[in-house]
A and B are shown apart, each in its own frame.
Chain A
Amino acid sequence: MLTIGIGIVGLGLVAVGLAMGHATAKALEGIARQPEAADKINRVLILGLAIMESVAIYSLIIAILIIFILR
């Protein structure tokens, strides 16, 4: 049962991967269209990626807590 729960938590990573890929693709489009704005786009992109990554980190923490505390 716990194993299934951990697997479900892992599904959150799918959304995060899709979102990060989407954001990077859009940023690349923006840079290709306007190369002089690359610095600003980079900064915002890294910030957004960090915030998206925190969702992945939350599922990691939930999985770890399930494994080590609920078992």
Chain B
Amino acid sequence: MSPDNQASAKRFLLISTTPPYGSSASKDQLDIALTCSVFEQPVTLLFLGDGVLQLLPNQQGNLLRQKNVNAIQSSLALYDIESIYVDIDALRYHDLEASGLHIPCLPVDSHAIQRLIAEHDIVLTI
């Protein structure tokens, strides 16, 4: 990233709240994330509530005639999108461990979530 880009960069936080496949939300959110990356803007993803289910491994979206969200998630690192957080209470609610998710994620509690929102310039929720 050139110094010029850095000066004009905004930190984007994209918040996902819904499970995959029930609506287009997960895909629509990832489209924004990839576009931010093309514009060389730093992106953080935060999965809250049922949004954590997007990160389950071994999804078979094809059975629902949908594209597998895991495939797009696997490409995030290529776009330098590696700052990914999950709501620790949602993990507990769904009996999940961060280590068992499809891509590396950091679990965060409600205080850390508040800090994340405060630290970012642009916060977009789907």
Chain A partners chain B: no
User: B residues touching A (Cβ–Cβ < 8 Å)?
Assistant: none
